[in-house]
Amino acid sequence: MDTHASTTNLPDSAEGQAHAPHDEIEHAHPTWSTYWKVALILTLITVGEVWLYYLPSFVASRGFVPTLLGLSALKFAIVVMFYMHLKYDHRLFRVLFTGPLLIAGMTLIALMFLFGHLHIKIM
Partner 1 sequence: MATSVVHTSAPAHHHYTALGLDSRKVAIWAFIGSECMLFVSLISTYLIYKGRSVIGPLPHEAWTDPTTGHIYKPILNIPVTSASTFVLLMSSLFMVLALAAVQNKELPKRTRGERILGSSKLWLWMTAIAGTTFLGFQAFEFTSFVHEGLTIRRNLFGSTFFTLTGFHGAHVTAGVLWLVTLLAIDYRRGLTSKDSLLVDISALYWHFVDVVWIVIFTLVYLIK
Contact status: 119 vs partner 1 (CB under 8 A):
no
Q: Report d(CA 43, CA 18) in Å as an integer.
A: 44
Q: Which is nearer to partner 1, 55 or 123 (CB)?
A: 55
Among 55, 63, 100, 113, indicate the residue that binds partner 1 (CB under 8 A): 100
Q: Report d(CA 81, CA 89) in Å as an integer.
A: 9
Contact status: 1 vs partner 1 (CB under 8 A):
no
- Interior/surface letters 23-55, b for 16+ CB within 10 angstroms, e for the rest: eeeebebbeeeeeeebeeebeeeeeeeeeeeee
Q: Report d(CA 75, CA 44) in Å as an integer.
A: 10
Residues that bind partner 1 (CB under 8 A): 4-13, 15-17, 19-21, 24-25, 27, 29-33, 35-36, 38-39, 42-43, 46, 49-50, 52-53, 59, 64-65, 68-69, 71-72, 75-76, 79-80, 83-84, 90, 92-93, 96-97, 99-101, 103-105, 107-108, 111-112, 115, 117
